[in-house]
Amino acid sequence: MGRFRDRADDDGGDSSIDISPLIDCVFILLIFFIVTTTFVEETGVEVDKPQAASAVQLEKTSVLIALTEKDEVVYGGREIGISGVRPLVKRMLQKEDVPVIVEADAKADTGMLVRIIDEAKLGGAQKVSVATRQARS
């Protein structure tokens, strides 16, 4: 019986746990969450939105355009001006049909807001909304 050794008598045995299947599962979950996550691109400026009792949450995929109190039109942290709204909306709608949401400051010129909405519709947007904040009860 010299060829067979009893495992209980083995003092220097390697008793490690193989964690490679666990790492594989973690990477698969990571890839799943990255692929299924939708990102909302923020406007890049802070605006003081007016209150509304009928305010609802923003849709996850949408084009967010900001109108500041100085009547600057901002998308993605940079000013695009009123002339940049229509090409932006056309480019974004080529990928998929998404709504356009305008975050207008409460002190912004309403004429400028109407021009932005008009340019977005001329760019092909079917749904154009104005973002508001929830009124406190």
| pTM of the predicted model as reported, rounded to 2 decimal places | 0.57
Q: Which amino acid is at 97?
A: D
pLDDT of residue 3: 63
pLDDT in single tens digits along all 137 residues of the chain: 556 655 555 555 667 888 888 999 999 999 888 887 766 566 666 666 555 555 455 555 778 888 888 888 888 888 888 888 899 889 888 888 888 888 888 888 888 889 999 998 998 888 888 877 666 65
pLDDT of residue 25: 92
pLDDT of residue 75: 87
Taking Cα atoms as reference points, which of 96, 95, 98 lies closest to residue 120? 98
pLDDT of residue 80: 87
Give the C-alpha separation, 135 to 137, whole Å. Answer: 6
List of residues 6+ apart from 59 with CB closer than 8 A: 98, 99, 101
pLDDT of residue 92: 85
Q: Degrees (nearest 5) of the Cα angle 43, 81, 99?
A: 50
Give the C-alpha separation, 134 to 54, whole Å. Answer: 7
**DSSP string of 41-104, one letter each residue:** PP-SS---PPEETT--PPPSS-EEEEE-TT--EEETTEE-TGGGHHHHHHHHHHH----EEEEE
